[in-house]
Each structure stands twice: as C-alpha cells, then as structure tokens.
Structure 1
Amino acid sequence: MRRLRTTASRWAAVACLAIALLYLVRVVDAPSAAYLLGEIVMGVLGVAAAVKMWLHNCFESHLAAGALVAATSGGTLLAVTAGLPGGGASGLTPTRVALLALSAAVVVLLVQDGRVRREHARRARRPYAR
C-alpha cells in the first residue's frame, strides 16, 4: 500500500536536504579527520533521508530524519554549551542557528505530516470498518 505524501513531508525532505548541505559545506573547515568523517556521514544521512522521504514517505525515512535531527540538534547544543572535545564552548554562529532551526522545522513538519495522514486514513475507511 502506497503511503500518502503530504506537503509537510515534502517540506521536511527539503529541510533534511538543507541540513545535509550545511554539513557538506562545513567539510572544508573540519578541524580534524574525525570531524571530517562525522560531517560526511551526517551529510550522506541527510541526503538519504531527504530522497527516501521525497519518494516514499515511509517509516524508514522518518527514522532516518529523526536520527539526523537528534544528532544535529544534540551535537549543536553540546558544541554551544559544553564545547567540542579539546576546546571550550563556542558561541552561536549563523550555521549553528540554521542547523537548530532546520532541526526544529523537521520535527514540526513530521508531526503535521502524521496528523494529515491520520485524518486522511480516518476519512478513507470504509463505513463497515468504523
């Protein structure tokens, strides 16, 4: 059974792609090989989640988007408050603000997508299935 692709899921896919692009742009300024690898992995995860969500809007795409959002927001908040390993806390840069805003947007859009799909499923049921 095909899953309903909503406007909110399409915008969530765009937000995941924007997060991935921000990570891939930051690859140039990676301070070490570990950060380089982490940013590449996050970029690839973001692209994969965005493409899967755009095409199928399935559980797996929501899971990948959730992992991307959790890692992005958690890592960004840790970098701002406690600091990255080997360094102190750093301030909010425009990139970090954008990452936090996009992460929040993905969560809100996925919740809205769930509400729309739930309402559509309720209306699409056969009368005898109620």
Structure 2
Amino acid sequence: MRRLRTTASRWAAAACLAIGLVYLTLIPAAPSRVYVVMEIVIAAVAGLTAVKMWMHNCFESHLGAGALVAATAGSSLLAMTVGLPGDGGGDLSATRLVLILLSVGVVCLLVQDGRVRREHARHTRRPYAR
C-alpha cells in the first residue's frame, strides 16, 4: 500500500539534504581523517535519507532521518558546549547553529507529517472495510 507523501515530508527531505550539504562544506576544514570520514558518512546518510523520504516517505526514511538528526544535533551540541576532542572550549559557530536548526526543523516536519497522515487515514475508507 502506498504511503501518503505530504508537503511536510517533502520539506523534511529537503532539510535532510541541506544537512548533508552543510557537512560536505565542513570537509575541507576537518582537523583529521577521522572527521573527514565521519562527515562523509553523515552526508551520505543524509542524501540517501532525503531521496528515500522524497520518493517513498516510509518507515525506513523516518528511521534514517531520526538517526541523522540524533547524530547531527548530538555532535553539534557537544561541539558547542564541551568542544571537540583535543580542544579546550566550545565552538559556537554559525554552522553548528544551522545544523541544530535544521535538525529541529526535520523533527517538527516529521511530526506534522504524522499528523497529516493520521488525519488522512481517519477520513479515508480502508479497502477491506465494509
């Protein structure tokens, strides 16, 4: 059965893609190879999640978006408060704030998507209902 693709899910896919693009811009300034690999992996997960959500809006795309948001918001909050490993203080930068705002945006859009799909399911008749 096809899942309903809502405007909120499309915007959430765009926000996931934007997160991936922000991580790609962070690659040249990465302090070590470990950060380069991490940023490439997160950008790849963001891109794949965005494509899957745009096309299907399924459980797997929502799971990928949740993992992406947890990794992005968690690493950004840790970098802003405690600082990166080996650094002394926190790094309050515009890039980190953008990543946090995009993460919050993805969560809000997915909640709105769930509300719209739930309302749509309430008003549509099931194919097996009499």
**TM-score normalized by structure 1?**
0.95
Matches within 5 A, 1:63-102: 63-102=63-102
Residue 88 (structure 1) shift: 1.9
Q: Aligned partners of 1:28, 1:2: CA distance in 2, in Å?
A: 41
How many equivalent residue pairs? 129
Cα separation, 1, equivalents of 2:88 and 2:58: 40
For 2:67, the aligned partner's letter is: A
Q: CA deviation at 1:91?
A: 3.1
SS class of match (1:96): helix
The runs of 4+ residues in structure 1 deviating greater than 3 Å are none
> What's the Cα RMSD here?
1.4
CA-CA distance at 1:129 after TM superposition: 4.6
**Runs (5+) with no aligned partner, structure 1:** none
What TM-score does the superposition give when structure 2 sets the normalisation length?
0.95
- Matched with 1:113 is 113
Give the structure 2 partner of residue 29 of structure 1.
29
Which residue of structure 2 aligns with residue 17 of structure 1? Answer: 17
Q: Separation in 1 of the partners of 2:39 and 2:99?
A: 13
Give the match for residue 53 of structure 1. 53
**CA deviation digits over 1:71-91, x for unaligned, max 9?**
000000000111111112223
Per-residue deviation, residues 1-58 of structure 1 (Å, max 9, x unmatched)? 0000000000000000000000011111110000000000000000000000000000
